[in-house]
Structure 1
Amino acid sequence: MNRSSLSNYTYNDFEKIVLEKIPLIDVRAPIEYEKGAFLNAINLPLMNDEERHLVGICYKEKGNKEAVKLGHQLVSGDLRKSRIDAWSSYITKHPNTMIYCFRGGQRSAITQKWIKEATGNDVLRLQGGYKAFRNYLIEELSPEKQISTPILLGGYTGSGKTILLKELKNAIDLEGIAHHRGSSFGNHVTPQPSQIDFENNLSYALISHKHEKHKYMILEDESRNIGYCFIPKELFEFFRKGNLVVLNVPFEERVQITFNEYVLMSQANYIDTFGHSTGLIEWSGYITRSINKLQKRLGVEGHKRLLNVFEDAFKIQIGSNKPDLHRNWIEILLKEYYDPMYSYQMKKCTREMVFQGNAKEVIDYFKMLA
C-alpha cells in the first residue's frame, strides 16, 4: 500500500499490529498514557496535561468549536513545531509507525494533518483509537478465544520454574508480563505495569501464542494475583483447569537459584539504578520490608531470627564485599516459610498431576507433548 496516498487513512487490523509489533505513537496526554497504553507505544502527546485540562474546561463551557480553537492557540508556533519534529523523528526511525488518541478522533486526526503539512508524509491512525484497540485486547483475554490446552508448572519456591519456561516456545511467562517474581520477595527495582497495561501485555502474548497454533500452553502455577497485577477471573479459571506438572529440584540447588535471584541479580539491579553504596542500602531496606511482611506467619521469634540472620549477612557483605552468607537466611526462608506453605497448597490441590521430574525430564516431557 502506497503510504503517500493515505492522508486521513485509518487502520483497524489490530491482530496485525500485535503480530508484527508495529510501533505506535500515543498522542494522548501523559496522564492518560500512564493509566494504560500498548506495547511498542511511545507517548508523544499533542497536548500536555495542563493544555488538555484547559481545553476540557473550554469544551464544557463553550463547546467543541471553541475548545478546538483554544487547542490550536495553546499548541502553536515553536511549540507546535517541536511536537511535529518529535513525531517526524520517530516516524523516520520507524517508518511503519501508526498513531492513536483515545477514540481515534480529533487529536490523532490533527496530528496526522500536521505531519502531512509539515513533511508531506502520511501516517496511519488507529480507527477507533485507544478505546477500540483496548476493547479488542480485552476480548482476546476470554477463554473462548484460546485454542491451546493449559498445563500448569508447579514446584517448590526456588525450583527455577521461570528459568525452565524461558526454554519453551509454547510457554506464557505470567511473572515476566507482571514484572514480578510472584512471591513476598517478588518486587523489582522498577514498578509493575498498571493493571490495564498488564492485561494489554498479556493479551499480546496470548494472541501471538494462538497465532503460532500451539497445542498446549505452559504456564507457571500462579495465584490469581501476581504482585499488584491480577489475572482476569474467567481467564484465571481457564488456566486452573489445566493438569499439573511438578518440577522437582534438590534443596541445595533451590537455595542457589533463590540466592541468584533474591541476592545477586536483585542487588545488581539496585546498584545499576542507584549506584553501589546507595543501591545496596536500598536493596537491604527492600529485603527487610519483605521479611517484616512475614511476621504473622513466622511468629515473633521466627521473624526475629530470620531478620537477625539477614542483618548479619548484610553487615559481613558490606565489610568484606562477599554476599555468600545470604544463603543462610534464604535457607531459613525456604524451610520455614515457603516450603510449608507449598506443601499445604499441594495437599489441597485437586488438579491431576500428570508428570513430575527434574528440569531435563520436565522439558523432555513438554517437548514430547508438542
Structure 2
Amino acid sequence: MKSLLVTLDKAGDFDEIVDVRTPLEFAEDHIPGAINAPVLSNEERVLVGTTYKQVSPFEGTRLGAALVARNIAHHLETTFADRPRNWRPLIYCWRGGKRSGSVTTLFNMIGWQARQLDGGYKSYRRATLDTLDTLPKTFTYIALVGPTGSGKTRLLSALNQAGAQTLDLEALASHRGSLLGAWAGVPQPSQKRFDTLLVSALRGFDPGQPVFVEAESRRIGSITLPLALLETFHRGACVEVRSSREDRATFLLHDYAHLFDHPEHLKEQLQKLIGLHSRERVTGWLGLVDENRRAELAGELIERHYDPAYARSSDQHFDQLPNALQLDFRPNDADVVEQAKALLAQLESRTLVAG
C-alpha cells in the first residue's frame, strides 16, 4: 500500500478529495473542498467500537468490514456513479488507516487512480496548526478599537465594501465576542473548523496591503484565537472608533434585538455577570428586562459593564493605541460606506494604506 500513499502537499494534484469519515467527524472539520462519503455512519462507528471493546477485536473488525463494504457499494452506485474512468481521487480518514485504505484499494481495483492521504486528517490538522504559527505574521494589521456599541463590526463591513482587506473574526466564529454575543439559533463552529476557516481567509489576502481587523481578546465565545495572530495585530496600528452614547445605545438595541425578544434567555446571560457586578445591580438589570425597558438596560450595560471593561483591557492589549487615529463614527447612519472611504483616505495620508 505504500505506493498508494501521498503527502498533503500533493492534494492539489487530484480531481477530488474524498473524506470517508463519519458525518459528525466531517462536520467538526474537513479539508477545504472535500466531499463526505462516509464508509461508516455515526451510529455504525459507535457500534463497531463497542463490539471491538466489549466482545473482541476480531468481531469488531469483522462487523466493521461488513458495514464498510456495504457502504462503499452504496457510494459506488450513487455518489460516484458518474465518475469517469480517468478520475483521480484523494481519499482520507482520521489517520490514514483502514477506512481510507479500504476505499483506496477498491477504487484502484476498479481502475480509478485513487491515492490515500498519508496520516489522514491528523496530518492536515498538524499542518493547519503549523500554518497558524507563521502565516498571520506575514500581514500588517490595522485594528479597529473601541467600546461595545461603537459599531466596529459595521465599520469593518463598510471597509470591505469600500475595497479594503478585512478579517471578520466574529463572522468566522459565529459570535459577537461579548457575553451577550451569541448568534440567535447559530451554533459556533468547532475550534478545528474555525482554524480551517481562518487559514482559508488569510490565504486570500495580499501581504502588500494592510488587513483591517476588529479588536478582540483571546476568546470569541468558545473559540480561542491563535497567539501569532493576536500578538501581531496587537502590536500594529489602531483606529479608535468613537460614537456618541445615544448612537451606541441605539446600535445595541438593534444588534441585540433577538435577545430582548427572548427575555428568559437574556436573563440567564445577565445572571452570569454576578461576581463581576453585585447581585443587587444584576437583579436591577433583570427587573429592567421584565419591564421591557430596553433603552434603559442598554444604557446601563454601556455605562456599568462594557465601558469599564473596555477601559481595563484596551491599554493593556494595543501598543499603538496612544497613537491611534480617532474616528467619530455614526454606526446607525445610511452612509457608513462613505464614512469608511473617508477613513481610508485619512489612513492613506498617513501612508498606512497604499493608494
TM range (shorter): 0.7 to 0.9
Please give the alpha-carbon distance, in whole angstroms, between the structure 2 residues aligned to 1:26 and 1:249. Answer: 48
Please give the alpha-carbon distance, in whole angstroms, between the structure 2 residues aligned to 1:348 and 1:236. Answer: 13
**Structure 1 residues 258-273: aligned runs within 5 Å:** 258-263=252-257
1:295 to 1:54, Cα distance in 2 relative to 1, 3 A: closer
**What's 1:203 paired with?**
199
Give the counterpart letter for 1:33 in structure 2: F
1:24 to 1:159, Cα distance in 2 relative to 1, 3 A: farther
**What's 1:239 paired with?**
233
Give the counterpart letter for 1:308 in structure 2: G
Maintained 8 Å contact 1:84/1:115: no
2:336 equivalent to 1:369: no
Greater Cα shift, 220-229 or 106-115: 106-115
Please give the alpha-carbon distance, in whole angstroms, between the structure 1 residues aligned to 2:255 and 2:74. Answer: 43
Give the counterpart letter for 1:198 in structure 2: F
Greater Cα shift, 24-33 or 49-58: 49-58
Maintained 8 Å contact 2:142/2:210: yes
**Structure 1 residues 133-144: aligned runs within 5 Å:** 133-143=124-134
Please give the alpha-carbon distance, in whole angstroms, between the structure 1 residues aligned to 2:90 and 2:263. Answer: 44
Greater Cα shift, 219-228 or 169-178: 169-178
2:94 equivalent to 1:108: no
**What's 1:88 paired with?**
80
**Structure 1 residues 95-244: aligned runs within 5 Å:** 99-112=91-104, 114=106, 126-143=117-134, 146-166=137-157, 167-168=159-160, 169-188=164-183, 189-209=185-205, 212-244=206-238
1:262 to 1:61, Cα distance in 2 relative to 1, 3 A: same
Identity of aligned residues (%): 29
Greater Cα shift, 334-343 or 177-186: 334-343
1:23 to 1:170, Cα distance in 2 relative to 1, 3 A: farther
Give the counterpart letter for 1:230 in structure 2: T
2:270 equivalent to 1:291: yes
**What's 1:339 paired with?**
307
1:358 to 1:219, Cα distance in 2 relative to 1, 3 A: same
- As a proportion of its length, which structure holds more helix? 1
1:254 to 1:228, Cα distance in 2 relative to 1, 3 A: same
1:303 to 1:62, Cα distance in 2 relative to 1, 3 A: closer
Give the counterpart letter for 1:302 in structure 2: R
TM-score (norm 2): 0.76
Q: What do residues 202-244 of structure 1 show as CA deviations (whole Å, max 9, x unaligned)?
A: 22222222xx334323221111011111113344223322232
**What's 2:22 paired with?**
29
Give the counterpart letter for 1:289 in structure 2: E
Give the counterpart letter for 1:362 in structure 2: L
Q: What do residues 157-207 of structure 1 show as CA deviations (whole Å, max 9, x unaligned)?
A: 111211222233422111111111000101122221122222222222222
**What's 1:357 paired with?**
327
1:291 to 1:67, Cα distance in 2 relative to 1, 3 A: closer
Please give the alpha-carbon distance, in whole angstroms, between the structure 2 residues aligned to 1:90 and 1:31. Answer: 26
Secondary structure of 2:212 counterpart? strand
Please give the alpha-carbon distance, in whole angstroms, between the structure 2 residues aligned to 1:174 and 1:253. Answer: 24
Please give the alpha-carbon distance, in whole angstroms, between the structure 2 residues aligned to 1:225 and 1:243. Answer: 21
**What's 2:251 paired with?**
257
- Structure 2 unaligned segments of length 5 or more: list them: 330-338
Please give the alpha-carbon distance, in whole angstroms, between the structure 2 residues aligned to 1:256 and 1:333. Answer: 13
Please give the alpha-carbon distance, in whole angstroms, between the structure 2 residues aligned to 1:345 and 1:73. Answer: 57
Maintained 8 Å contact 1:247/1:362: no
Deviation at 1:305, TM superposition (A): 2.1
1:117 to 1:234, Cα distance in 2 relative to 1, 3 A: same
Q: What do residues 67-109 of structure 1 show as CA deviations (whole Å, max 9, x unaligned)?
A: 76543322445x54434345337979xx998542123444234
Maintained 8 Å contact 1:152/1:218: yes
Maintained 8 Å contact 2:289/2:297: yes
Maintained 8 Å contact 2:90/2:117: yes
Maintained 8 Å contact 2:173/2:189: yes
1:16 to 1:260, Cα distance in 2 relative to 1, 3 A: farther
Give the counterpart letter for 1:185 in structure 2: L
TM-score (norm 1): 0.73
Q: What do residues 13-54 of structure 1 show as CA deviations (whole Å, max 9, x unaligned)?
A: 47959xxxx975421134533554344445431112454356
